[in-house]
Structure 1
Amino acid sequence: MFHGPIKPTHDPVPTHVDQRRGTRRHTSVLLIGRVRYAGGESACLVHDISSHGLMARFTAMPMVGDRMLIAVRGLPEVAATVRWVNGFRGGVEFEVAQDVGGVFCLRDDRGHVARTPRFAMQASASLRIGDLRLAVDILDISPGGVKLRSDALVPVGQAGSVLLPEINVAAFGSVCWTRDDRFGFRFCTPLPLASLSRVLGCG
């Protein structure tokens, strides 16, 4: 699906795609998004968004013409192309116009909480529950929590902390669900983009 950078069809000046179209952009969104491209996966911080594209700060410097799949809360994963770059900031244009109303909703049409995209990863971590220290495997992560695997039984609602790799910082939270040897751990405070990027190895 991805064929690397494509040649831009116009001068890549840092002008919003939708400003050229004369349409209004939403501003100050500040949502963490997931970016997938030919070289892997990384995180970004979306600053503004419209039906035709978005502007974000990326953890891996983009290039004009780069093609990617980008996902944010309230939208499906969308194919997009980078149209302008200014350092680690860039503007991307969606291949297909999107209904961005869901981006600003905390719940979806079924009443479920709208969730930030999750990042698959494989890493070891240390979980502290009360006086217990458990070795766990991280299966995926988002700014709001992690999915963990452990042979030990962990009760739902139990508070504790998990020592995240790369940043060596304990993220405090509680166990929110369990299923067989897997369970979810919800952070008390969402991870900032810089910390999430370092945990993912792209910051």
Structure 2
Amino acid sequence: MQTSPASVTPQEALDRRSGQRHALVLLIGKVRHAGREAACLVHDISAGGMKVRFTEPHRVDDRLEIEVRGLPPVRGTIRWVNGCKGGVEFDAPQDLARVFRLRDDDGHVMRTPRFAMEASGTLRLLERRWAVDILDISPGGAKLEGETGAEIGQAGSITLPDLPTPVFGVVCWTQDKKLGFRFSSPLTLDMLARVLGCC
């Protein structure tokens, strides 16, 4: 059964322009638009574009930049919007093989984009607690700063802005007053959006 041109949806039109898409990729990415950064969830992706769930409102023809694991920041245009979801057409085709690789050319693990922050939290390791500054965050962890005396491998929890319960994890690196705290379970898009103050 063929679909008539009048019944082609914006999603189908973008799919046709972009070639075959990879369904249910579900990667958290970073959107830059009008001088502001926000989190997003990439539902599927092709060399020519992607279907995205936004955490802030957007409109058709908005110009933006999206960053996801494995790709450099990519410029594109929103071609359709349906509620919080939208279709983005890239300015230039992208190499999708990089998105699905576990490591880059130098052997480093591909990382989800990080979001700079200026916020405070409470780090708890065993029975001790410290006030810390949250310098940046990703779904998988956060960079913290403070006089903690933390050691690599110590398990504990961190309070994050606007989340009702602490997030559990482990100290994965330390350097001077800074440390990396890897979450036991990745933050969902909704949790990350709340921490970042997205609507």
> TM-score, length-normalised on structure 1?
0.90
Equivalent of residue 30 in structure 1, options 26, 31, 35: 26
Q: Aligned partners of 2:108 and 2:18: how far apart in 1?
A: 34
Cα offset, 1:198, TM superposition: 0.2
Equivalent of residue 159 in structure 1, options 155, 160, 171: 155
Q: Give the letter for the 2:176 counterpart.
A: D
Cα offset, 1:31, TM superposition: 0.4
Give me the identity figure in percent: 58
The yes-or-no answer on 1:84 pairing with 2:86 is no
Cα offset, 1:39, TM superposition: 4.1
Query: Cα deviations across residues 71-126 of structure 1 (Å, max 9, x unaligned)?
Result: 00111111111111001100001111110111112222222111100000110100
Q: Which runs of 4+ in 1 moved over 3 A?
A: none
**Alpha carbons of 1:53 and 1:17: their partners in 2 closer, same or farther (altered >3 Å)?**
farther
Equivalent of residue 112 in structure 1, options 99, 108, 111: 108
Q: Aligned partners of 2:184 and 2:100: how far apart in 1?
A: 22
Equivalent of residue 190 in structure 2, options 188, 191, 194: 194
Cα contact 1:18–1:24 (8 A) shared by 2: no
Query: Cα deviations across residues 113-142 of structure 1 (Å, max 9, x unaligned)?
Result: 111000001101000011101000000000
Q: Aligned partners of 1:25 and 1:190: how far apart in 2?
A: 25
Structure 1 unaligned spans of 5+ = 1-12
Q: Aligned partners of 2:34 and 2:104: how far apart in 1?
A: 30
Equivalent of residue 19 in structure 1, options 15, 20, 33: 15
Residue 179 of structure 1 is matched in structure 2 by 175
Cα contact 2:18–2:46 (8 A) shared by 1: no
**Alpha carbons of 1:146 and 1:17: their partners in 2 closer, same or farther (altered >3 Å)?**
farther
Residue 9 of structure 1 is matched in structure 2 by none
